[in-house]
Amino acid sequence: MVSYRKRGNVWQYEISYKDPDGKYRKLRKSGFQLKSEAEIAASEIKSNYISARHYKAGDIPLADYFSRWVALYKANSVTAITLIKYQNTLQHIRRLFGRTPLKDLTRSLYQEKLNEFAADHAPRTVATFHKQIRAAILDALDEKIIPIDPTRKAVISGHRIEHPKKALDYNEWQRLVTHLDLTDKSDLIIYIAAVTGMRYAEIVGLTPVDLDVTSNLLLVNKTWDYKYHTGFKPTKTPSSVRKISINLSTASAIRDYSACHHINSEQPIFLENNRVPVSAEINKSLTETLRSLRLPRITFHGLRHTHASILLYQGINVLSVSKRLGHANITTTQSTYLHVIKELEEQDTDKIIQIISLS
């Protein structure tokens, strides 16, 4: 039932409806200069929504609706890892949309926020973000909470990241490792990768007991799940379990960092406030350091490639490099560093010609 009345110099409409509990409620809105304007506004609500109750449901913020939707439809039907992805999306929704109600979400506003998200995320990440929100929005549309789909025909863009160099050369590697501050968490993680070739999950899975200071060895026998925070995990492959020789300064830096931060013997060295840095954080730190040194940009995984390439160029045989990297077999190493091996073969050919030319 709709009624109209004049309040001072303006008109107000009042719509009576029942809430889900069966109680009568009233939806009021005033501020119309003419009664006809109030009638048109009330008519739009009645034509776009099944009832005033559905219109009122549109007051729920997008973030709250998405949170409820995830709990209702996803929490018990997807894996723990997938659920974390939905929760990450929820955090971004809260940051971007704040307390924006569903009924105020227009196509232009949605596109504006999607573009804001795309400014520092890759297109694939933006597409996933949009897909998850749209699934919830379409259910809100089915429930008649909103009259239109604001995510329809959304344009997916993203931040195109330049392709970095795969590895540094020996001189560039030297400049990097000598510049790093080994008392700083990010720098020490970068340093360990540069001088051992360890994978990121292996480094953040190191505990004080994994350092053999007597023999200057690092024991790699587990990894740490820095993405989904499930704790220690097995190494990538059984062959990834290995002992890596390090020099005295590296051993001292790891030992001193552990002692300075009072790390428990079976606790990850880089665990702080119950979390370790995600790889994106360290990648950002690495990029900034390389930029400050005017060195080519490489990814964190590029430190592993750098380490292996340097060893090969310095004459270390492929089998030894393969074992140090924890590859399942030497074929993996050969295929990964084929370009380096071919270059070394060409150098060997030149040396062979020089040798036989002296006879």
Q: Summarize pLDDT for 185-207 with one digit per residue, the tens.
A: 999 999 999 999 999 999 999 99
Which tokens sit at 223?
A: 């990894």
pLDDT of residue 49 exceeding 50: no
- The residue-averaged pLDDT of 309-320 equals 92
With beta carbons less than 8 A apart as the criterion, state whether 110 and 126 touch.
Answer: no
Q: Where is pLDDT greater, at 277 or 192?
A: 192
Task: Give tens-digit pLDDT for 330-341.
Answer: 998 998 888 888
pLDDT of residue 21: 56
**Would you place residue 45 in the very low, low, confident or very high pLDDT band (cuts 50, 70, 90)?**
low
**Would you place residue 258 in the very low, low, confident or very high pLDDT band (cuts 50, 70, 90)?**
very high
Q: Which residue has the tokens 């990648």?
A: 283
Q: What single DSSP character describes residue 269? A: T
Which tokens sit at 106?
A: 């227009």
Q: What percent of the chain has pLDDT over 90?
A: 58
Cα–Cα distance measured from residue 345 to residue 341, given in angstroms and rounded to the nearest whole number: 6
pLDDT of residue 268: 95
pLDDT of residue 28: 72
Cα–Cα distance measured from residue 169 to residue 175, given in angstroms and rounded to the nearest whole number: 10
C-alpha separations of 54 from 14, 17, 58 in Å: 15, 10, 7
pLDDT of residue 25: 66
pLDDT of residue 323: 95
pLDDT of residue 265 exceeding 70: yes
**Would you place residue 83 in the very low, low, confident or very high pLDDT band (cuts 50, 70, 90)?**
confident
Per DSSP, helices labelled H in 183-336 are: 185-196, 200-204, 248-260, 279-292, 300-313, 318-325, 330-336
